[in-house]
Amino acid sequence: MTDKARSIGLILFCQVAAMTLWFSATAAAVALVADGTLSGQQAGLLTGAVQLGFVVGTLLSALTGMADRFDPRRLFAASAIGGAAANALLLVTGFDGAATVVLRFVTGMTLAGVYPVGMKMAAGWTQKGMGLMIGVLVGALTLGSSLPHLFNAVVGLDWRTTIVISSLCAASAAGAILFSGLGPHLRRAARFRFSEARRALLQKPVLLANAGYLGHMWELYAMWAWIGVFLEWALTRAGSPLAAQSGLVTFAVIATGAIGCVVAGVLADRFGRTTVTMAAMAVSGTCALLIGLTPALGAGVVIAVALIWGISVIADSAQFSASVAELSEPELVGTMLTLQTSMGFLLTFIIIQSMPLIVAACGWAFAFAALAIGPWLGVLAMGRLRRLPEALRLANGRR
């Protein structure tokens, strides 16, 4: 096995293993809400705490340039072991106290040293196939984010078991990542000045790529957070017995996004980043607009549209990261990716928390239509990027 293949395999494993810290609490909270130990409001607060912690962590990383100044393996390892410790402390505090919110916030902060850093490490190993490389990485994370729905629908693990397993996974990732190599295209900054990062962030091509990413993120996590509740409503309204198995349907809808990530990565490297992102957002935006009307057409239509949405809503995600990596200076890639994810997850926090208000005002038939705003604005942003001469830096000249 070559050093490249071994290192990429390790990065993929470690990224998914460490990010179970985010996914595990979702599984545990769902189980606790089901048995009445935790209220829906408390579960939402815990989810929001992780997101805000991640935003704060990524901002601190960007302000200090950590992702570009230090050995990314050591930064990843330190972050993963810190997150594992914070997660394990939930076994002491439980899930129903103020300390739990603090621990979830801290866990979110540590993951700022995992997700964007792992993407930077993956990007360092390739230039020609960057879309596929990051697509596989995001696809694996997509599959990981779907597993809580499967576990709760089929296995119903005790929340303590879930926490122990996720902490051990993160700890193993902290150790394993140190054995990965650094790719030939990875650059570390000899010095870091935030003014240089700010100037790079404000360049028009990077601004447009990030605008497309924000349009995508406006839709993605709100869809993932609420699609399970919607499917239970929609399948019940369609008179389908599958309403009792909505958890399994939700798993399938989210998990199929992993296929979309890989396929989009192949297509983007061959036909261009803007081409694929615009197509994916056009499809997902249309699904968001129409899915609330599908119960009247039957359960088959509900599930078919949901599956198409599940594939398209995440398919373009990796391509925005690849675009920013290709448009940025090599020694600033880590900081640019960190800033991108920071802005994106701050936006997701806002829209996820807004969804109950939208549902109360419009009902499920029209609530998801509000999510269509993001991808359609994203299509406009990527269309403008496509017309710039700098777009030739994407996918080796394939816009």
pLDDT tens, position by position, 293-311: 999 998 899 999 999 999 9
Instruction: Tell me the pLDDT tens digit for each residue of 237-259.
Output: 888 887 777 778 888 898 888 88
pLDDT over threshold 90, residue 332: no
Look up residue 221 and give its two tokens.
Answer: 């996590």
pLDDT band at 374 (very low <50, low <70, confident <90, very high): very high
For the domain 3-178+192-397, what is the CATH superfamily, name and number?
MFS general substrate transporter like domains (1.20.1250.20)
In this prediction, residues 324-351 reach a mean pLDDT of 80
Mean pLDDT of the chain: 83
Question: Which of the given ranges, 40-49, 65-74, 374-383, has the highest pLDDT on average?
Answer: 374-383
Q: What is residue 272's predicted lDDT score, i.e. its pLDDT? A: 85
Long-range contacts of 278-283 (CB under 8 A, 24+ apart): 278/379, 278/382, 278/383, 278/386, 280/312, 280/313, 280/315, 280/316, 281/212, 281/215, 281/216, 281/312, 281/316, 281/375, 281/376, 281/378, 281/379, 281/382, 282/375, 282/376, 282/379, 283/308, 283/312
Three-state SS at 188: coil
Q: What is residue 212's predicted lDDT score, i.e. its pLDDT? A: 92
Q: What is residue 368's predicted lDDT score, i.e. its pLDDT? A: 93
Q: Where are the beta strands (DSSP E) in 249-342?
A: none
Q: What is residue 378's predicted lDDT score, i.e. its pLDDT? A: 93
- 232, amino acid identity: E
In this prediction, residues 372-386 reach a mean pLDDT of 92
Q: How far apart are CA 337 and CA 124, in angstroms?
A: 13
pLDDT band at 375 (very low <50, low <70, confident <90, very high): very high
Contacting residues for 391 by C-beta, under 8 A, at least 6 apart: 205, 274, 385, 399
The proportion of the chain whose per-residue pLDDT surpasses 90, expressed as a percent, equals 23
**Which residue has tokens 């929340």?**
159
Q: Where are the beta strands (DSSP E) in the chain?
A: none
